[in-house]
Amino acid sequence: MSKGPIKYSLRHPFTWDEKEYTEIEMQRPKGKHIKKLGADPRLEDLLDVASKCSGIVPKVFDEMDAEDCLGIGGVIGDFLASGQEIGKTS
């Protein structure tokens, strides 16, 4: 498991608002980023977390290719995968 930021290289780079996006760098999520996630987060929820962890406005993710959105959702899901299931106690 990575302790530092993750760089996701976009398979479909694009330009939005005069800025070219070729990769997205995300910090590991903190509690403040995930506290509104339910037990079964949707892609929209994961992209919201990605926005918060990357400092990139949500509108950019709206313009991103679907394949890259799914890939970034997977990266956030991987950050969360090692955590304890919500509602379960050890």
Model pLDDT for residues 44-80, shown as the tens digit of each residue: 999 999 999 999 999 999 999 999 999 999 999 888 8
Give pTM, 2 decimals: 0.83
User: Under a CB-based contact definition with an 8 Å cutoff, are residues 12 and 65 in contact?
Assistant: yes
Between 12 and 6, residue with greater pLDDT:
12
- The residue that leads in pLDDT, 69 or 6, is 69
Cβ pair 12, 26 in contact under 8 A:
no
